[in-house]
Amino acid sequence: MKIILEKLKCIGCGSCVSVCPQYFELTEQGKSHLKGKKINFSDNNNEELEINDKKGCIQEAIEICPMQAIYWETQNAKRKTQNLS
């Protein structure tokens, strides 16, 4: 299971950090950052992190983000499909 953080959408409100400091932190540039050694940076400035457990605070961070900048990779695929119809 992969969590995606779209850096360009992030406005640095800090809500994800508040509910899920285990996985998120704010950088000096005022953007959220996914913690962990398994982070990969893709071409469009997204951050990706493979995790095994879909439960827990990450889901809270997804729901609290005002910019919808955090989502599971499967949700993004679904969103793209919906945009095409």
Contacts with ligand SF4 by CB under 6 A lie at: 10-16, 32, 65-67, 69-70
Concatenated DSSP letters of the chain: -EEEEETTT-----HHHHH-TTTEEE-TTS-EEE-STT-EE-TTSEEEEE-S--SSHHHHHHHH-TT--EEEHHHHHHHHHHHH-
CB-wise, 63 or 85, nearer to ligand SF4?
A: 63
Minimum distance from residue 75 beta carbon to ligand SF4 (Å) = 15
Minimum distance from residue 71 beta carbon to ligand SF4 (Å) = 10
Minimum distance from residue 79 beta carbon to ligand SF4 (Å) = 16
